[in-house]
Structure 1
Amino acid sequence: MTTVYLKAIFREIWASKARFASILLIIFLGVAFYTGIRATGPDMSQAAHDYYQRQRLATNSVQSTMGLTSADTQALAKHKAVLRYQSAKYVDVNQLNDNRVVRVSELPNKQRLNRLRVVSGRLPKRANEVVLDNHARKLQPKLKLGSTYRIDSTTKLNQQFNRRTFKVVGFVNSPRYVENISRGVTNVGKGTLDYVVYTRPDTLKQTVATRIDVQFKNLDHVAPYSATYKRLNKQNTRQLKKWLKPQAAKRQQSLQQRAAAKIDPLKQTVAQLQTQLPANAPQLVSLQAQLKKAQAQVNAIEKPTYLYSDRSDNPGYTEYHENTQRIVALSTVFPLFFIAIAALICLTTMTRMVEELRLQMGTLKGLGYSNAAISAEFMIYGGLAALLGTFFGVLFGVNFFPRFIAQAYGSMYNLPAINVQYLWGDIGIALAIALLCTLGTALVVLRVDLRSLPAQLLQPKAPKAGQTLLLERWHGLWRRLSFNHKITLRNLFRYKQRLLMTVLGIAGCMAMMITGFGLKDSIGDISVKQFNQLWHYDAIVTRSGQETKAQQRALADADLYKGSLKLRSKQVTVKQAGVAEQTVTLNVPAKPQQLHKFVVLRDRQSHRGYQLGQTGAVIDEKLAKLYDVQVGDSIRVKPAGQAAKRVKVAAIAENYVNHFIYMSPSYYQQVFKRAPVYNSNLVQLTSTNEKRGNAFANQLLKQKGVVNVTLMKTERETNFKMLDSMNLVVLIFVISAGALALVVLYNLTNINVSERIRELSTIKVLGFYDGEVTMYIFRENLILTVLGILVGCFFGNWLHRYILTTAETNALMFSPDIHWLSYGYSALLTMAFSLLVMWVMHRKLKHVNMLDALKSVD
C-alpha cells in the first residue's frame, strides 16, 4: 500500500467527516452504555468487599438467651489461630423524650471487629462522650456535634445505666448496618430500631455480654457474596457450634450452683430446726415449703439457647448484593438493546459507503490494485471509527455510569464511594461488536463488489424499480391522493431496507425513553397509591400491652383525634432457602369488619376487596412474589422468641412498601394457640400538620404504657426521600436514549438524502422550491417516525416491565403502570428530534450543487 493511497484514504475520511463522526458517535454511545452499565454491578460489589475488609465486618455472631460470659470467650480463645472475636454489650431502649427506639451499645477499648467509620467528629474518649449512628441526625436534625444527648426511658430501663447524659462528639457508620434506614428488629417499643448510640465501656450495669462477634480468618480475602464464601461460611458455622456446644451445659450448671448457693442459708436453717422442733411444727413446715419451692426453681433452670447468625442477618447486607445483581441483570439486556440499535445503524451507514465508492473501487481495480488493497480503505475507515469510538466510549462509560448509578443508590446505603475498574472481558466484547458493526459489514458488502469487473463497478447501480402497491388497488382512495403523497408512499416501500432500519432504530430509542419516563411514573406512584389509596390512617400508637382506660381516654380526648382501630401488631420474620430473610409486620385487627376504613385490602388489577376470615391470612403481593406462593399455599412465619408457624395464604393484596400479613383474631388464635394482645392503634387525625402531629405524639407518650407514636407523614417523607435519587437513573435512560435517537435520525436521514441526491436535484431543476424539496423527504421521515413511535410503544412497555422486575428491592414493589403522558413526552421528544434533523437537512439541501449531482458517470 503506497503513501499516496494512504493519503487518499485519509482524504476520504476528511471529505466524509460527517459520516465518519456519526459512526464514531454511535459506537461511542453504544460502547459507553454497555461497558459503563456492565461495570456498575462489579464496581459496587468491590466497594462493599473493600469496605467490609477495611472495617473488619464480623462473619458470624453468637447470642445466648442468658447472656454470654468470659467462659464463652475463653472457649473461643482456644481457636485464635483461625478466628478473631469481640464481645459486645448493648441494651435497646424506647426514648420517651424523642419517640425513638435506639440501641445503646458499649464500644470496646480496641475495635478488633466491626470498626466504626467516622463521618464527622471523632470517637469518644471520656465516659461522658458518645457517638451516634449517622442516621440519627437525619431523623433528628437538632442532634449536632457538641449537643447534649440524654437517655430517657422507663424506670426499669433507666436503672440499667450508670450514666444517662452524654456529649455528642461524633457521627459514625457501622459496617453492620450498610442500609441507611433499617437497623433491625427489637422487642422494645414499635419493634424496629431507629438508630444506634455508641458509648464508652462501663456505661451499662449488666455483667454479661449481649453478643460475641466472630471473624474467621479463612474468609479474609474471599469475595463476600461468592459461592466460595458461602461454602466456607457453612463450614465455619458448623465449627463454631461445635466449639460452643459444651458451654450450654456448663452455663446451666454454673447458674444452678449460684442459685443453690443462695438457698444454702435456708437449708442450714431448716436442718437446725429439724433437730429442735417437731416435724409438724408450723414454722418448720413453712420453711420446708419455701425450701422445696426454691429447690424446684433451681432445678428448673434450663440450658441457655445459643443463637448463631452471620452477615446475611445484618440489615442491608444481602439486599445490597441483590441490588448489585439487579444491575447486572439490567446490564445483560438494556445495554445490548442499546448497542444493537447502534449496530443496526452502522450496518446501514457502511453499506451506503460501499455503494457510494463503487466508482473509486472500479478505478483502483482497473489500475491493478488487489482486492486486499481496495478493501483496506474500508477497513481503515471503519476500524479507525470503531477503535476511537470504543476508546472514548470505554473511558467515558466506565468512569461516568458506575459513579452516577452508585450515587443514586447512595441514598439507600452508607458505603464509601466506589472505585471504578476496567473489565477487560466486557471491553473486549464491546470492541469486537464495534469492529463487527464496521469491518464485518464492509466485508459482507464488499464480497460481491470485489468479484465484479472494473467495467461493472464504473457503472452506477440501477435504481430500484418501483412496484405497484396494494394501496393502489383501492382506487377510491388512491385517486384522491395528491402526486406528492403518491410518490411518498411509493418511495417508502421502494426502499424496504431503509424503512425497516429507520422504524427499528426510532422504535428502539422510543422504547428506551418510554422506559425512562415509565420508571419515573412507577416510582412516583408508590407514594400516592400506598399513602392515599391503601392506607387511611395518620398515626400508629404502640403500647406495652392491652389498652387501659386511661390510655383510651387520653387518645379520645386528644385535639386531633378522629377515630382509631385496635390491633395486634408484631414484627415477625419469614425465611426460605434462596431468599433473604424478610421482616414482616403481622397485624390482627380487633374488629376485622372495620379494617377497610383504615387499610384497603384489594386485588391490584381488579380492585376487588378482601375480608379477613378464619381460613387464612392476607399477605402483600411482593411477599408472595419473593417466596413464589399463590392463594392456598402456606408460608413459615416466625415471631421473635417463638417457633415458626405455618400460615395459609387466603388472598394476595396490593401493597408497595414493606411487608404485611393480616389475620382475623380467630385465625391468629388457631395458628399461635393464644389470644391476640391488642398492643397498637391505627389512628385517624383531623389534621396532618407536622407541628400539631408532634404535639399529639408527645401528649400520648406521657401516658404510662404508651411506648411509641409513629406519624405517617414522617414515615412518608423518610421512606420516599431515598426514591427521589432514582430520578438520576431515569435521567440516564432519557438522555442516553435521546442522544441515540438524535444520532440515529440524523444518520438515516443523511443516508436517505445522499442516496437520492440526483432525484432531489432533478425535482429542484424542475422548479420545486427549497421547502417543497425538503417536504419531499420529510413526508417519508414523518411517516417512518410515526411508525417507529407506534412500534416503540410496544417495545417500551415490555422493556419497562422487564426492568421493573429486575430493579425492585425486596421491601419495595414498583407500580407497573406507565402514564399516558409518558408516552406523549417520549413521542414529542422523538418528533422534536426528527424536526431538528430535518431543519439541518433543509439547510444542507438549500446548498446542493445540482449540476454536479446530475453529471453523468457513464
Structure 2
Amino acid sequence: MTKAYFKAILREIWRSKARFFSILLIIFLGVAFYTGIRATGPDMLQAADDYFAKQQLATNSVQSTLGLTKADTQVLAKHRDVLNYQAVKTLDVNQLNNNRVVRVAELPTTQRLNRLRVVSGRLPQRANEIVLDSQAQTLQPSLKIGSTYRIVSSKALNQQFKRRTFTVVGFVNSPRYVENTSRGVTTVGKGTLDYFAYVRPHTLKTGVTTRLDVQFKNLIGVTPYTAKYNRRNRENTTKLKRWLRPQAKQRQQSLQRQARQKIAPLAKTVATLKTQVPATTPQLVSLTQQLKQAEAKVAAIKAPTYIYTNRSDNPGYTEYHENTQRVVALSTVFPLFFIAIAALICLTTMTRMVEELRLQMGTLKALGYSNTAVGSEFMIYGGLAALIGTGLGVIFGVNFFPQFIAQAYGSMYNLPAISVQYIWSDILIALVIALLCTLGTALVVLRVDLRSLPAQLLQPKAPKAGKTLWLERWTGFWRRLSFNHKITLRNLFRYKQRLLMTVLGIAGCMAMMITGFGLKDSIGDIGAKQFNELWHYDAIVTRTGRETAAQKRTISRPKIYHASLALKSAQATIKTAGVAEQTVTLGVPAQPQRLNTFVTLRQRQNHKRYQLGNQGAIIDEKLAKLYHVKVGDTLPLKLAGQTAKHVKIAAIAENYVNHFVYISSSYYQTVFGKKAVYNSNYVQFNSASEHQANAYADTLLKQAGMMNVTLMATEKKTTFKMFDSMNLVVLIFVISAGALALVVLYNLTNINVSERIRELSTIKVLGFYDGEVTMYIFRENLILTGLGIIVGCFLGDWLHHYILQTAETNALMFSPGIHPLSYVYSALLTVAFSLIVMVMMHRKLKHVNMLDALKSVD
C-alpha cells in the first residue's frame, strides 16, 4: 500500500465521518453492553469470594439438640491438621422493649472464623459494650454509637445473662449473613431473627457451646459455588459426621450418669428404709415410687441429634449465587440481541459504502492495484471503527455496568463493593463480533465487485428495475393516493433490504424499551397487588401460646381495631436437591372460613377464589415454580427442631413477596400428629396513621404473653425501598435501548439520503421546497417506524417474559403484565427519535448541492 493510497483512505474516513462515527458508535454500544453485562456476574462472584476469604467464613457448622461440650471440641482438636474450628455461644431473645427477635452471641477472644466486618465504630473491649448487626440501624434508626442497649425479655431468658445493659460501640456485618433482610429462623418469638448482637465472653451463663464453626483447609483457595468446592464439601461433611458419631452415645451416657448421681441419695435412702421398715410403710412406698419415676426419666434420656450445616444454609449465601447466575443468563441473550441489531446496521452501512466507491474501485483496478489492495480500504475503514468502538466499549462497559447493577443489588446484600475485572475471553468474543459486523459484512458485499472488470466498475450500477406493487392491483385504493404517496410506497417496496433492516432495527430498539418499561411495571405492581389486593390485614400479633381473655381484650380495645383472626403461625423451611433452602410462613387459621377476609387466596390468571380444605395445603405460585410441583404433589415442610413432614398441595395461589403455606387445623393434626396452638393474630384496622399504629403496637407489647407486633405499613415501606433500587437496572435498559434507537435511525436515514441524493436533487430542481423534500424522506421513515413499532411490541412481549423468568429472585415473583402506557411511552420515544433524526436530516438536505449531485458519471 502506497503512502498516497493510505492518505486517500484517511480522506475517505474524514469525508464520510458521520458514517464512520455512526458505525463506531453502534459497535461501542453493542460491545459496552455485552462486555459490561457479561462481567457483572463474575465481578459479583469475585467480590463474594474475596469477602468470604478475608473474613474466614466457616465452611461447616455443627449443632446439637443438647448443646456441645468440651468433649466435642476435643474431637475436632485431633484433626487440626485438616481443619480450623471455633466454639460459639448464642442465645435467641425476644426483645419486649423494641419488638425485635435478636440473637446474642459471645464474641470469641480471637476471631479465627466468621470474622466480623466493622461498618462503623469498633468491636467491644469491655464487659458493658456491645456491637450490633448493621441491619439493626435499618430496623431501629434511633440506635447509634454511644446509645444504651438493654435486653428485656422473659424472666427465664433474662436470667441467662450476667448483665443486660450495654453501650453500643459499633455496627458490624457478619459473613454468615450476606442478605440484608433475612437472619434465619428461631424457636423464639415470631420465628424469624431480626438481627444479631455480639458481647464480650462470659456474658451468657450457659455452660455449653451452641455451635461449632469449622473451616476445612482443603477448601481454602477453592472458589465457592464451583463443582470442585461442592464435591470437597460433601466429602468433608461425611468425615465430620464420622468423627462426631460416637459423641452422641457418649453424651447420652454422660447425662444419664450425671442424672443417676443426682438420684443416688434417694436410692440409698430407699435401700436403707427397706432394711428397717415393712415394705407397705407409706413413706417407703412414696419414696420407692419417686425413685422409679426418676429412674424412668434417666432411662428416657435420649442421645442428642447432631445437626450439620454448611454455607448453603446461611441466609442469602446460595441466593446471592443464584442472582449472579441470573445476571449471567441475562448477559447471554440481551447483549447478543443488542449486538445483532448493530450487525444488521453495519451490513447496510458497509453495503452502501461499497456502492458509493465503485468508481474509485474501478480506477484503482485499472491502475493495476490488486483485489487485496482495493479491498484493504474497506478493511481499514471498518477495522478502525471496530477496534476503536470495541476499545471504548470495553472500557466504558466493564467499568460502568457492573458497578451500576451491583449497586442495585446492594440494597439486598451487605457485601463490599465489587472490583472491576476484565474478562479477556468475553472481550475477544466482542472484538471478533465487532470485526465480523464490519469486515465480515464488507467482504460479503465486496465478493461480487472485486471479481468485476475495471470497465464494469467505472460504469454506474444499473438502478433497480421498477415493479408493479400488489397495492397497484387494488385500483380503488391506488387511484385515491396522491403522487407523493404513490412514490413513497414504491420506494419502500423497491428497497426491500433497507425496509427489512429499518423495521428490524427499530423493532429491536422498541422491544428493549418495552422490556425496560415492562420491568418497571412488573416491579411496581408487586407492592400494589400484594399489599392492596392479596393481604387485607394491618398487623400480625405473635403471642407465647393460646390467646387469653386479657390478650383478646387488649387486641380489640383500641379505637383503630376492626377485626382479627387467630391462627398458628410458624416459620418452616423447605429443602430439596438442586434448590436453595427456602423459608416459608406456615399459617393454620382457627376459622378457615374467615381466612379469605384477611388473605385473598386466588388463581392469578382468572382470579378464582380458593377455600382452605382438610385435604391439603395452599401454597404460593413462586414456591411451586421453584420446586417444580403442581396440585397433587407433596413438599417436605420442616418446622424448627422437628423432622420434615410431607404436605400435599391442594391449590397454588397468587403471591409476589416471600413464601406461605396455609393448612387447616385438622390437616395440621394429620400431618404433624398434634393439635395446632394458635399463637398469632391477623389484625385489621378501621384506619390508622403511622403514629396510631405504633401506639397500638406499644400497647400490645405491654400485655403479658405478647411477643411481637409486625405492622404491615412498615413491611410495605421496606419492600418498596428494595424495589426502588431495582429500578436502576430498568433505567439501564431504557437509556441503552433509546441510545441504540437514535443511532440506528440516524444511520439508516443517512444511508437512505446518501443513496438517493440524485433523486432528491432532481425534485429540488423541479421546485420542491425544503420542507417538501424532507417530507419525501420522512413519510417513508414514518411508515417504517410504525412497522418497527408494531413488530417491536410482539418482540418486546417475548423479551420481557424471558427477562422476568431469568431475573426473579427466589423469594420474589414479578407481576407478568405490561401496562398499556408502557407500549405508548416506548412508541412515543421511538417516534421522538425519528423526529430528532429528521430535524438533523432536514438541515443536511437544505445544503444539498443540486448541480454536483446531478452531474453524470458517464
TM-score, normalised with respect to structure 1: 0.99
> Runs of at least 4 residues of structure 1 off by over 3 A?
none
Please list the CA deviations of residues 458-485 of structure 1 after superposition, one character each: whole Å capped at 9, or x if unmatched: 1111111221111111111111111000
- Counterpart for residue 600 of structure 1: 600
Please list the CA deviations of residues 646-683 of structure 1 after superposition, one character each: whole Å capped at 9, or x if unmatched: 21111110000000111122222222222211111100
Task: Say if 2:800 is the partner of 1:800.
Answer: yes
- Counterpart for residue 138 of structure 1: 138
- Counterpart for residue 9 of structure 1: 9
Task: Name which of structure 1's ranges 249-258 and 219-228 shifts more when overlaid on structure 2.
Answer: 249-258
Equivalent position amino acid for 2:274 in 1: Q
Q: Aligned partners of 2:671 and 2:563: how far apart in 1?
A: 30
Please list the CA deviations of residues 96-147 of structure 1 after superposition, one character each: whole Å capped at 9, or x if unmatched: 0011111111100000000000000000000000000000000000000000
- Counterpart for residue 317 of structure 2: 317
Equivalent position amino acid for 2:121 in 1: G
Task: Say if 2:638 is the partner of 1:638.
Answer: yes
Q: Percent identity?
A: 78
- Counterpart for residue 576 of structure 1: 576
Post-superposition offset of 1:273: 2.0
Post-superposition offset of 1:639: 1.4
Task: Say if 2:855 is the partner of 1:855.
Answer: yes
Equivalent position amino acid for 1:453 in 2: L
- Counterpart for residue 820 of structure 1: 820
- Counterpart for residue 563 of structure 1: 563
Q: Aligned partners of 1:137 and 1:636: how far apart in 2?
A: 35
Please list the CA deviations of residues 16-46 of structure 1 after superposition, one character each: whole Å capped at 9, or x if unmatched: 1111100100000000000000000001001
Contact 1:121 1:145 in 2 (8 A): yes
Contact 2:101 2:194 in 1 (8 A): yes
Equivalent position amino acid for 2:168 in 1: V
Q: Aligned partners of 1:322 and 1:795: how far apart in 2?
A: 27
Q: Aligned partners of 2:310 and 2:720: how far apart in 1?
A: 29
Equivalent position amino acid for 1:154 in 2: S
Task: Say if 2:730 is the partner of 1:725.
Answer: no
Q: Aligned partners of 1:157 and 1:224: how far apart in 2?
A: 38
Task: Say if 2:506 is the partner of 1:510.
Answer: no
Q: Secondary structure at the match of 1:235?
A: helix
Contact 2:566 2:678 in 1 (8 A): yes
Q: Secondary structure at the match of 1:817?
A: coil
- Counterpart for residue 715 of structure 1: 715
Task: Name which of structure 1's ranges 827-836 and 288-297 shifts more when overlaid on structure 2.
Answer: 288-297
Q: Aligned partners of 1:250 and 1:269: how far apart in 2?
A: 29
Q: Aligned partners of 2:834 and 2:515: how far apart in 1?
A: 20
Contact 2:523 2:815 in 1 (8 A): yes
Q: Secondary structure at the match of 1:45?
A: helix
Post-superposition offset of 1:291: 1.5
Q: Aligned partners of 2:357 and 2:722: how far apart in 1?
A: 55
- Within 5 Å, give how 1:824-839 maps onto structure 2: 824-839=824-839
- Counterpart for residue 277 of structure 1: 277
- Within 5 Å, give how 1:616-631 maps onto structure 2: 616-631=616-631
Q: Aligned partners of 1:466 and 1:589: how far apart in 2?
A: 76
Q: Which structure 1 residue ranges, 5 or more long, are not aligned?
A: none
Q: Secondary structure at the match of 1:67?
A: coil
Please list the CA deviations of residues 676-699 of structure 1 after superposition, one character each: whole Å capped at 9, or x if unmatched: 111111000122311111110111
- Counterpart for residue 778 of structure 2: 778
Post-superposition offset of 1:276: 2.2
Contact 2:637 2:644 in 1 (8 A): yes
- Counterpart for residue 262 of structure 1: 262
Equivalent position amino acid for 1:755 in 2: E
Q: Aligned partners of 1:532 and 1:279: how far apart in 2?
A: 74
Task: Say if 2:416 is the partner of 1:441.
Answer: no
Post-superposition offset of 1:263: 1.3
- Counterpart for residue 201 of structure 2: 201
- Counterpart for residue 163 of structure 2: 163
Equivalent position amino acid for 1:526 in 2: I
Q: Secondary structure at the match of 1:559?
A: coil
Equivalent position amino acid for 1:809 in 2: T
- Counterpart for residue 423 of structure 1: 423
Please list the CA deviations of residues 703-760 of structure 1 after superposition, one character each: whole Å capped at 9, or x if unmatched: 1111111100011112221111111101100000000000000000000000100000
- Counterpart for residue 540 of structure 2: 540
Q: Aligned partners of 1:843 and 1:675: how far apart in 2?
A: 82
Q: Secondary structure at the match of 1:259?
A: helix
TM-score, normalised with respect to structure 2: 0.99
Equivalent position amino acid for 2:31 in 1: V
- Counterpart for residue 186 of structure 2: 186
Post-superposition offset of 1:811: 0.4
Q: Secondary structure at the match of 1:354?
A: helix
Contact 1:538 1:688 in 2 (8 A): no
Task: Name which of structure 1's ranges 248-257 and 757-766 shifts more when overlaid on structure 2.
Answer: 248-257
Q: Which structure 2 residue ranges, 5 or more long, are not aligned?
A: none
Q: Aligned partners of 1:447 and 1:494: how far apart in 2?
A: 23
Q: Secondary structure at the match of 2:704?
A: coil
Post-superposition offset of 1:643: 2.1
Contact 2:116 2:174 in 1 (8 A): yes
Contact 1:568 1:587 in 2 (8 A): yes
Cα RMSD after superposing both structures: 0.8
Q: Secondary structure at the match of 1:179?
A: coil
- Counterpart for residue 609 of structure 2: 609
Post-superposition offset of 1:780: 0.1
- Counterpart for residue 302 of structure 1: 302
Task: Name which of structure 1's ranges 317-326 and 633-642 shifts more when overlaid on structure 2.
Answer: 633-642
Q: Aligned partners of 1:235 and 1:558: how far apart in 2?
A: 58
Equivalent position amino acid for 2:324 in 1: T
Please list the CA deviations of residues 200-226 of structure 1 after superposition, one character each: whole Å capped at 9, or x if unmatched: 011100000100000000000111100
Q: Secondary structure at the match of 1:605?
A: coil
Post-superposition offset of 1:187: 0.7
- Counterpart for residue 404 of structure 1: 404
Q: Aligned partners of 1:815 and 1:138: how far apart in 2?
A: 27
- Within 5 Å, give how 1:208-223 maps onto structure 2: 208-223=208-223
Equivalent position amino acid for 2:718 in 1: T
Q: Aligned partners of 1:551 and 1:266: how far apart in 2?
A: 44
- Counterpart for residue 682 of structure 2: 682
Q: Secondary structure at the match of 2:600?
A: coil
Task: Say if 2:456 is the partner of 1:456.
Answer: yes
Post-superposition offset of 1:280: 2.3
- Counterpart for residue 647 of structure 1: 647
Q: Aligned partners of 1:595 and 1:267: how far apart in 2?
A: 56
Contact 1:688 1:713 in 2 (8 A): no
Post-superposition offset of 1:644: 1.6
Contact 1:560 1:686 in 2 (8 A): yes
- Within 5 Å, give how 1:343-382 maps onto structure 2: 343-382=343-382
Q: Aligned partners of 1:247 and 1:676: how far apart in 2?
A: 35
- Counterpart for residue 152 of structure 2: 152
Q: Aligned partners of 2:738 and 2:247: how far apart in 1?
A: 65
Please list the CA deviations of residues 576-599 of structure 1 after superposition, one character each: whole Å capped at 9, or x if unmatched: 110011111111111111111110
Q: Secondary structure at the match of 1:717?
A: helix
Q: Aligned partners of 2:635 and 2:279: how far apart in 1?
A: 59
Task: Say if 2:705 is the partner of 1:705.
Answer: yes
Q: Aligned partners of 1:648 and 1:65: how far apart in 2?
A: 29
Equivalent position amino acid for 2:66 in 1: M
Q: Aligned partners of 1:557 and 1:383: how far apart in 2?
A: 78
- Counterpart for residue 752 of structure 2: 752
Q: Aligned partners of 1:274 and 1:390: how far apart in 2?
A: 98
Please list the CA deviations of residues 773-809 of structure 1 after superposition, one character each: whole Å capped at 9, or x if unmatched: 0000000000000100010000111000100001000
Equivalent position amino acid for 2:293 in 1: K
Contact 1:614 1:664 in 2 (8 A): yes
- Counterpart for residue 764 of structure 1: 764
Q: Secondary structure at the match of 2:587?
A: strand
Task: Say if 2:95 is the partner of 1:95.
Answer: yes
Q: Secondary structure at the match of 2:275?
A: helix
Q: Aligned partners of 2:249 and 2:630: how far apart in 1?
A: 44
Equivalent position amino acid for 2:712 in 1: M
Contact 2:527 2:719 in 1 (8 A): no
Q: Aligned partners of 2:274 and 2:621: how far apart in 1?
A: 70
Contact 2:573 2:581 in 1 (8 A): yes
